[in-house]
Structure 1
Amino acid sequence: MRSSQHDLMWRQLLPKVRRHDEPLQVQLCTAFVTAMLDGRLPGGTRLPSSRDLAMLTGVSRNTAVLVYERLVAEGYVDSRPRDGFFVCGAITPTQTTRPLPEQAAQPPDWASRMHLARNPLAFMDRPPTWREVRYPFIYGQFDPRQFPLTQWRQCSRQALELKAVDRWWQEGENVGASQLIDQLIRRVLPRRGIAATHDQVLLTLGRQQSFYLLARLFARPGSVVGVEEPGFRDPRNAFSHDGAHMVSLPIDEHGLQISPALAACDYLYCTPGYQCPTGVTMSLGRRQALLEHAQMHDQVIFEDDDDPETEYDGRALPALKATDPAERVIYLSSLSKLLSPGLGIGYIVAPTPVIEQLRQLQRLMIRQIPGNNQITAALFIQQGHYDRLLQQAREKLQLRAGAMATALREVLPDAEFVMPSGGATLWLKLAGEHDLLSLYYAGLAKGVLFDPSSAFCVEPDTLPRPCLRLGFGSIAQELIAPGIRELGLVINAHAKRPAVVRG
């Protein structure tokens, strides 16, 4: 007969399972294995019967039986006929190393050993609680409710088949001939007007690694890199960390300006598709002028195509690289914005000698991009799921952009913006004077999250008036109007010179 103390011990070791978390079997197996490896369940310990386990944890009897079958199969539990289940005696608890005596612990002088950044790096990080915010008007996150989980799971299962698993490991093989690169060349890059061969494409762990690799290959003390102002901070950080001198380049309603500062640069970083953060699409005339300028001054352009193919009518301008006859443009993009940032799948398109050097640099960091994600993404594109998701994304973003514009015209009639024709952001120019930092935290307190223009500006007087970047890719459409009304109240309450706010 079980005692109450006996039940209490097992309830501490095996807490009640959560129905809305991972599968019940996984929760219980993890709890058992953790207790065994921590030494709280030593070898030879008798485990509760399947009936008692079901009662103690609130799962069905069948689930309890499956848990024990799995633990037996994995060697953690011994099944003794007519006697029960016992912790396997071969399980060795994880041991921790004792620290050295206090007098022997002399830390090194880290500051003298490390290659430190010349200047403190500023990153635009989200607050840790951003997922709990009611109105997340932010960019860069996808809407998990729109993710085609069924189709992705199907492709993932195919990537787990024996023949596919054999292709996960590519070291010593022609890594450039991967299945995913083949699909990028056949299905994705042509829609941006780019023709490429396998030796001109490098897979990366997202755009962030692309920035880092390009900075390591090209940036050096004395080189000059021009970046958009306002603009994305991360490439600026990457190139300046390796000693390059950064020059801020102004933008206007046509994109990156052909300004006097441009002539002093060795390299140019720009976002022609949807400029970060204003959302401006570089005009055809400006693109041609930029390519001619790069040719005249022997410059290389890094084109960041952050959010490709989301023009609502499906007729986005070709990439800058598509109209580059001299191969002066190095193109980088990713699948993260449409699929999920967590997948970390990016790519660089460049001349073969550049890709060869980038591949060697990447090998110093990682041996290869995870093969399972590569094959799953390749199958997802090959089977048409990517194209369907792209079309659905265009339709949903267009509806959300319309809802955003309607709400802003009603609530903040004195603010100015250009109606987006693609992408997932809107650049809002506020009327009146505002302390953007105070406005940001006041909005956060009211459950409204946005990106202030100060997060994209290195020089404080870059913009003549305060601006906000409002993202609508990860917020439900029905929350846009109430979120904008709440934003309007916050802006009005914290304006140094109040503007007209309605609603």
Structure 2
Amino acid sequence: MSIAVDTFFLNPDAPGTLQAQVQQMIAEGILSGRFHTGEKLPSSRRLAAHLGVSRITVTLAYTELVANDYLSAQGRSGYYVSENAPVPPTYSPRPRAADTVDWTRAIAQRFTGGDTPRKPGDWRDFRYPFIYGQADPTLFDHANWRQCALRALGQKDFASLTDDYYDRDDPLLVEYIARHTLPRRGISARPEEILITLGAQNALWIAARVLLNRRRRAVIEDPCYHAQRDLLTHAGCRLTPVRVDADGLPPDAIPPGTDVIFTTPSHQCPTTATMPLHRRHALLERARELDALVVEDDYEFEMAFLAAPSPALKSLDEDGRVIYVGSFSKSLFPGLRLGYMVGSEPFIREARALRATMLRHPPGHMQRTAAYFLSLGHYDSQIRRMGAALHDRRRAAEAAIAEHGLTIAGRGVYGGSSLWMQAPEGTDSAELATRLQADGVFIEPGAPFFAGPERPARFYRLGYSSIPTSRIGEGIARIAAALRDAPGATDRPAPQAMQHS
């Protein structure tokens, strides 16, 4: 690999001769780790022209660096960073002067300090990763995805790769969603009623910005997806958490004056509760009484390996008051960041305009690649493969949980990729998670999903989408052992409101 000549700069205030400055500049690049062993330096002619110095100055500097074993000369090929150069293992930029800006005054709005926890980047190094929402490479169809990506790079699709869609989307992807994805949920929509987003979280953010302001009230489930609570907090609206029960969000608990209801009826996050049909009708009736809108996050409906999923709220909506959010992040891979939202045309028009001011549109190449992967049948094959694997892992997890006497607080009626667990009274699941990490086990503490200062600490989530079936039993055995050793844990029954079947 060659080092770009544009990365070399002389400090006009540096002391010493030009030759000494060139030597110091290159030596510092090597010592800091910016230049790596074996990398080729620019020719003396190119570097001299770039720096505005004579070629002999650069040649003498190179010669001196060769003598000091920083560089090696390879005949007519040029100069390279020597294998014997004192190169550090990682690149460490030189420290620069401290900021003089008072950032406590300069920052007008703060977005840090929310509830969304950061998942460790090294989760794959855990032998027992009960992590939620990450991809299992053994289940992903790499070969066909690669073929679809190469096809999307072809001359025929040059426009979809290079054009600025501005506020439009890939017509092939929109057509597939309208003709295949949505009808599976009983939803009929025209292209003007569909917007492609950067995943479900981006869709929820857009919905919140379009529908809410400081005078309006939003209802969210408690517990709920913590990133959703963060983004609604930043929206500045009046926010009311409503505690879910075994059937999800109770309509009667939604207070008067509510303008927008955010819900996950098919697979409540994180308890996995599935809202029965009679409650779905009751929720729509309550929204009609309040003249409220409903934002339905229908994630994981594809993971239906136990029973067919219940009808989407949007399919039961006769008023046009439900805004439907879907995503390919869980069923394909989270790094794809492709989702979609469906709503009445006036709402989608405003949502599209907001998206255009922020990110214009998701990358055209990713949209076209996904469209090919979906339309050629690879997506359906992957869903069947994932469903079979998740079914096996679910059975292994439930068998191990029963064997070790652990308590499931929530399990999806038709499937899914996680279990909502309840530890004995007095257990701090955050402390439990920390101890388990030292034993190679990763679990997700449940407290961040709850609203308010008094958050139950005994709940935790076990995802099984990224752990092989063969390791589930031993991983759960280690969780059970850690729970037995947890300080202050007692065996008391769970609060009725959090019992889920």
How big is the shift at 1:270? Answer: 0.6
- Give the Cα–Cα distance (whole angstroms) in 2 for the partners of residues 118 and 151 of structure 1: 39
How big is the shift at 1:421? Answer: 2.9
- Give the Cα–Cα distance (whole angstroms) in 2 for the partners of residues 276 and 174 of structure 1: 31
Map of 2:470 onto structure 1:
478
The counterpart of 2:352, out of the listed 352, 356, 359, is 359
Kindly indicate whether the alpha-carbon contact (under 8 Å) linking 2:296 and 2:313 is maintained by their aligned counterparts in 1: yes
Kindly indicate whether the alpha-carbon contact (under 8 Å) linking 1:229 and 1:462 is maintained by their aligned counterparts in 2: no
- Give the Cα–Cα distance (whole angstroms) in 2 for the partners of residues 403 and 106 of structure 1: 54
Map of 2:184 onto structure 1:
191
Deviation string, structure 1 residues 391-423 (Cα, Å, up to 9, x no partner):
111111111110000000001256655475311
1:231 aligns with 2:220: no
How big is the shift at 1:259? Answer: 3.3
1:427 aligns with 2:415: no
1:257 aligns with 2:246: no
How big is the shift at 1:459? Answer: 2.8
- Give the Cα–Cα distance (whole angstroms) in 2 for the partners of residues 409 and 274 of structure 1: 23
What amino acid is aligned across from residue 309 of structure 2 in structure 1? A
Map of 1:135 onto structure 2:
128
Kindly indicate whether the alpha-carbon contact (under 8 Å) linking 1:118 and 1:243 is maintained by their aligned counterparts in 2: no
Map of 1:496 onto structure 2:
488
Change (3 A) 1:460 1:191: same
Map of 1:446 onto structure 2:
439
Structure 1 residues 67-78: aligned runs within 5 Å: none
- Give the Cα–Cα distance (whole angstroms) in 2 for the partners of residues 146 and 414 of structure 1: 29
Deviation string, structure 1 residues 444-489 (Cα, Å, up to 9, x no partner):
22111112221211235565x8222111011111110010001111
Kindly indicate whether the alpha-carbon contact (under 8 Å) linking 1:226 and 1:247 is maintained by their aligned counterparts in 2: yes
Structure 1 residues 341-356: aligned runs within 5 Å: 341-356=334-349
Map of 1:375 onto structure 2:
368
Map of 2:200 onto structure 1:
207
Q: How many residues align?
A: 426
How big is the shift at 1:311? Answer: 1.1
Unaligned runs of 5+ in 2: 1-25, 31-35, 49-54, 60-74, 80-92, 493-501
Secondary structure of 2:114's partner? Answer: coil
Map of 2:274 onto structure 1:
281
What amino acid is aligned across from residue 475 of structure 1 in structure 2? I
Kindly indicate whether the alpha-carbon contact (under 8 Å) linking 2:167 and 2:356 is maintained by their aligned counterparts in 1: no
- Give the Cα–Cα distance (whole angstroms) in 2 for the partners of residues 127 and 200 of structure 1: 37
Kindly indicate whether the alpha-carbon contact (under 8 Å) linking 1:334 and 1:346 is maintained by their aligned counterparts in 2: yes
Change (3 A) 1:330 1:221: same
User: Which range moved further: 385-394 or 177-186?
Assistant: 177-186
What amino acid is aligned across from residue 488 of structure 2 in structure 1? K
Unaligned runs of 5+ in 1: 1-8, 14-29, 47-82, 88-96
Kindly indicate whether the alpha-carbon contact (under 8 Å) linking 1:159 and 1:375 is maintained by their aligned counterparts in 2: yes
- Give the Cα–Cα distance (whole angstroms) in 1 for the partners of residues 122 and 252 of structure 2: 41
Deviation string, structure 1 residues 304-340 (Cα, Å, up to 9, x no partner):
1121221114611121111101011111111010111
Secondary structure of 1:303's partner? Answer: strand
Secondary structure of 1:154's partner? Answer: helix
Change (3 A) 1:413 1:345: closer
1:148 aligns with 2:137: no
RMSD: 3.3
How big is the shift at 1:260? Answer: 3.6
How big is the shift at 1:271? Answer: 0.5
Kindly indicate whether the alpha-carbon contact (under 8 Å) linking 1:273 and 1:319 is maintained by their aligned counterparts in 2: yes
Kindly indicate whether the alpha-carbon contact (under 8 Å) linking 1:256 and 1:282 is maintained by their aligned counterparts in 2: yes
Could you tell me the percent identity over the aligned residues?
A: 31
How big is the shift at 1:189? Answer: 1.3
Deviation string, structure 1 residues 265-299 (Cα, Å, up to 9, x no partner):
21111101110001111110110000000011110
User: Which range moved further: 358-367 or 383-392?
Assistant: 358-367
Change (3 A) 1:414 1:184: closer
Kindly indicate whether the alpha-carbon contact (under 8 Å) linking 1:176 and 1:199 is maintained by their aligned counterparts in 2: no
Deviation string, structure 1 residues 339-365 (Cα, Å, up to 9, x no partner):
111111111111111111111111111
Change (3 A) 1:442 1:199: same
How big is the shift at 1:31? Answer: 8.0
Deviation string, structure 1 residues 1-43 (Cα, Å, up to 9, x no partner):
xxxxxxxx9xx99xxxxxxxxxxxxxxxx987x654799x958
Change (3 A) 1:35 1:342: farther
Map of 1:271 onto structure 2:
264
TM-score, normalisation: structure 2: 0.77
Kindly indicate whether the alpha-carbon contact (under 8 Å) linking 1:440 and 1:450 is maintained by their aligned counterparts in 2: yes
Secondary structure of 2:401's partner? Answer: helix
